[in-house]
Structure 1
């Protein structure tokens, strides 16, 4: 009997329990979520039980989830949220369950320990350094020039600062004094500011096999979300950049330990002017924002569903296990209005625009992170250049 503990962020609308039940009618599901869950009130199958925590975040919630797991004794623990990676891995390690253990999961969450993942995969990275006092910050600035100061455990490009000189450092510590406390707590790191294009690859893994890897490029670096809307487009298949990005993803998969249990990754790379790539960051989850919808539109495959089935041990129901690396049906890209509100309406959009949405409100939009948007849209086109042109036209 397969018993799957699902950790689902309240903001998630993914029908995980339905996917699992469709794959195996005998599977038992215990879904843990929190207040205000988007799927609250959804009709569930007879083998699905829902536990709603008083609060989903925090140490008390983690302790409660662990207690639930110890009592219910699942065979698998699954999630597709950055914030649940370590929580789920801790339960696996505690109960001796298959899947990603805590010692590996932390390398997908801590950007310093993450460098070990890239080293094992043979992937070069930009220069970086740990910083624990202001002199470390200034020394790194002198050694590598302009750099990015960012949280070791950050998500969504939150708390990222680009510093080009000592004056920038002192100005930041004056306007945001909490940053100094974070430096002293070893909670931040610095990384060389790379002159190149930021790529992202969203891939489904089956141990060392890459079942699908989709490389895309951001039109602007995601940490600039407050001043530039976040947009990305699929790379032209067969292009040098596409080939390099897929090769880096395969190297990463081969560098993971056997039986690693990582079913999906969101890998960010820096494409240098000479065509080589540097590894930036990697997460053990699908990309956020509208990436999931964009890739489903392009390939006809729900990568989120695929990753849940693999993580739950139901690989026989996986569309990608049966037919790995399917060709795209159409190239696609998307735009998130993070720096302002959309100036277009659904009715005014052309036929190549899909999935448009706009948040309520008419005041200025102030994004807190790179997926905090006032609206979004998916575009399709015959090649990368057409996608860029169409995003520019709707943006």
Structure 2
């Protein structure tokens, strides 16, 4: 089998070698230099080095036309989901095609689809079609239609403020409205539900509650997450996925639990960031990246990759952002005993003196301070994380 992988991830983190037999299959990795350099030098594979910043589809189209057909095209990064779908459609490669991919990338498309199915979503309008009045009051969100990790999201006091913001941004960027939507703000804790679906049936699903919010993380505050038992939310998530037409895929769905029950926020056909893959593996025995890829290559559920989960344990994570320090080095101070706490499975502190990254993401190597926790009582993990998020500090030179 000939397999093309659009690679924008660490090789070991994806466990490509676990998912794909590189002696049996002819595998080509297409990625920029930093990801190409991360592939083991002795691995049997071909490489196509992508130019950073140039459209992936445009770079690969002429090359693919000169190649023998590929049997599979794999992409694990959210920003590559739609390019992969477009290339599959053009070159007749099985897998997710653009129509389905749009329902897992475009927040307007996904919410409109679910609203038609009778699933509650925040009321919303396209930024290109803002009416004078909307049927909600109070706080209003302005967000990109295809972003992740709450990047580019604005929280406004009311709809009029949101409308003015869109107008101001359109004057500086004529394409702004095409990329954005406006929706009502809903109050309540935010949860994420992660899992893998095979032929419409759940293989493994796990709900987790955020400690603080991804929007706060985007603006420089730490974020946490803890797994909890919540079968009703997991069942509701499957209803959302089926309404969107999901068949076989990894998913990361976010919902807000309001006084009237769950409301859909967004969903992606990929794994959650930070330590979500580790958390999920410990709880369910499924490593989402390799399970998904091996299943797509083999055409059957890769049951041989399912492991025994850690018994009677729940898992969580904490993420202190690194992108809000303007590239400056940082110093991390944690309370005594934190790094030897029994619940702490592993942690990572950004090296002192090294410039911090300026792009927002949840990858541990780009965070000021992050880690994975585990224990038998999710409420105790939640309390431990809340205490850590309130007590640990990150500072840059010149901070008062």
Q: TM-score range by the shorter chain?
A: 0.7 to 0.9
Aligned to 2:82, what secondary structure does the other structure show?
helix
> Matches of residues 347-386 of structure 1 in structure 2 within 5 Å?
348-361=339-352, 368-369=359-360, 371=362, 373-386=367-380
> Matches of residues 246-285 of structure 1 in structure 2 within 5 Å?
246-257=234-245, 262-274=248-260, 276-285=261-270
In the alignment, which residue of structure 2 is the partner of 1:64? 59
Name the TM-score, length of structure 1 as normaliser. Answer: 0.84
Aligned to 2:33, what secondary structure does the other structure show?
coil
Larger relative contact order (CA 8 Å, sep ≥ 6): 1
Q: 2:302 aligns with which of 317, 337, 353?
A: 317
In the alignment, which residue of structure 1 is the partner of 2:31? 33
* 1:150/1:166 CA distance change after superposition, 3 Å: closer
Instruction: Supply the distance in 2 between the matched residues of 1:96 and 1:366 (Cα, whole angstroms).
Output: 38
Q: CA deviation at 1:233?
A: 0.5
CA RMSD of superposed structures (Å): 3.2
What number of residue pairs does the alignment pair up?
376
Q: CA deviation at 1:289?
A: 1.8
Instruction: Supply the distance in 2 between the matched residues of 1:45 and 1:166 (Cα, whole angstroms).
Output: 54
Aligned pair 1:20/2:13, yes or no?
no
Deviations 1:167-195 (A, max 9, x none): 74488579x74686367642210111111
> Matches of residues 68-147 of structure 1 in structure 2 within 5 Å?
68-70=63-65, 71-119=67-115, 122-132=118-128, 136=130, 139-140=133-134, 143-147=136-140
> Is the 1:341–1:365 contact (alpha carbons within 8 Å) kept by the matching residues of 2?
no
Instruction: Supply the distance in 2 between the matched residues of 1:367 and 1:346 (Cα, whole angstroms).
Output: 30
Q: CA deviation at 1:221?
A: 2.0
Name the TM-score, length of structure 2 as normaliser. Answer: 0.83
> Is the 1:216–1:232 contact (alpha carbons within 8 Å) kept by the matching residues of 2?
yes
* 1:265/1:96 CA distance change after superposition, 3 Å: same
Instruction: Supply the distance in 1 between the matched residues of 2:225 and 2:174 (Cα, whole angstroms).
Output: 31
Deviations 1:259-297 (A, max 9, x none): x554101111111134x2111100010111221122223
* 1:218/1:182 CA distance change after superposition, 3 Å: farther
Aligned to 1:288, what secondary structure does the other structure show?
coil
Larger mean Cα displacement after TM superposition, 222-231 or 192-201: 222-231
In the alignment, which residue of structure 1 is the partner of 2:221? 228
> Matches of residues 207-226 of structure 1 in structure 2 within 5 Å?
207-225=199-217, 226=219
Instruction: Supply the distance in 2 between the matched residues of 1:58 and 1:14 (Cα, whole angstroms).
Output: 25
> Is the 1:138–1:166 contact (alpha carbons within 8 Å) kept by the matching residues of 2?
no
In the alignment, which residue of structure 2 is the partner of 1:159? 152
Instruction: Supply the distance in 2 between the matched residues of 1:84 and 1:153 (Cα, whole angstroms).
Output: 12
In the alignment, which residue of structure 1 is the partner of 2:51? 54
Q: CA deviation at 1:104?
A: 1.0
* 1:116/1:3 CA distance change after superposition, 3 Å: farther
Unmatched runs of 5 consecutive residues or more in structure 1: none
